[in-house]
């Protein structure tokens, strides 16, 4: 079986992780070996880089250039340690974010030079490109509400009447440097994603993630099924 590489993109709160789980189950039911990954992260080295980028108390002074290089250091490791060998074995890979996130967040969001950003991405990924990218689209307002709801659950936990009944995953209980950016940053990220979708219509499928969970799941399956059936 030929390997298949699908990436998921979108701003915070677009529901990527739920949809990745649903798609993985559906693909496994067709007999495929499915591996789910995330960026930054996905390897032991990448997970350490993820911690530095998002949660470490030492990351307050991180520059945009460092952020760009660390995102791509994590990616270079993931591509060579996991993605290429798995694709060569015919596995299906579902990756929560890939290089389009760098274009949107470091290119458009942090306003680094797009040509330089592309060169760094090329160095990290080489020939390893997704067969399909699903861009889950919610408005900046919806994304902001979901980010704020998460923050409200975290700080201060003991005084918070909305404290979740079930414990949050470890990652979710930590401060996240990326979420500390201001609204204009997230507006630029959203514009960036729009431009990316317009530039790569053959690879990037826009999915309206304001629909119900089931509708989003079905839109995703419509995009994926031609590649697997």
| Cα gap 58→78, rounded to integer Å | 24
Binding positions for ligand TMP, 93-132, rule CB under 6 A = 97, 101-102, 105-106
Smallest separation, CB 97 to ligand TMP (Å) = 4
Query: Residue 208 CB, nearest distance to ligand TMP (Å)?
Result: 19
Nearer to ligand TMP, 39 or 190 (CB): 39
Contact criterion met (CB below 8 Å) for 28 and 36: no
Binding mask 153-192 for ligand TMP (x = CB under 6 A): -------------------------x--------------
Which residue's entry shows tokens 């997704």? Answer: 130
Which of these, 13, 9, 191, 7, lies nearest to 111 by C-alpha position? 191
Establish if 39 lies at the interface with ligand TMP (CB under 6 A): yes
- Which residue in 23, 71, 138, 206 binds ligand TMP (CB under 6 A)? 71
**Interaction site with ligand TMP (CB under 6 A):** 38-40, 71, 97, 101-102, 105-106, 178
């Amino acid at each position: 079986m030929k390997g298949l590489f699908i990436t998921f993109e979108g701003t915070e709160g677009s529901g990527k992780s739920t949809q990745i789980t649903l798609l993985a189950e559906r693909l496994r039911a067709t007999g495929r070996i499915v591996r789910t990954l995330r960026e930054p992260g996905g390897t032991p080295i990448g997970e350490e880089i993820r911690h530095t980028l998002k949660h470490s108390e030492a990351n307050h002074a991180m520059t945009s250039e460092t952020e760009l290089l660390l995102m791509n250091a994590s990616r270079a490791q993931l591509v060579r340690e996991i993605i290429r060998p798995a694709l060569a074995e015919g596995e299906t890979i579902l990756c929560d974010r890939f290089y389009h996130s760098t274009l949107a967040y470091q290119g458009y969001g942090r306003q680094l030079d797009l040509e330089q950003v592309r060169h760094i991405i090329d160095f990290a990924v080489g020939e390893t490109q997704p067969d399909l990218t699903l861009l889950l689209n919610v408005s900046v307002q919806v994304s902001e509400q979901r980010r704020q709801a998460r923050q409200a659950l975290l700080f201060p936990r003991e005084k918070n009447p909305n404290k979740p009944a079930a414990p949050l995953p470890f990652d979710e209980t930590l401060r996240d440097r990326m979420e500390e950016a201001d609204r204009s940053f997230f507006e630029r990220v959203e514009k960036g994603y729009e431009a990316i979708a317009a530039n790569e219509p053959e690879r990037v499928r826009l999915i309206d993630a304001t629909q119900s969970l089931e509708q989003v799941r079905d839109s995703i399956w419509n995009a994926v099924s031609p590649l697997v059936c």
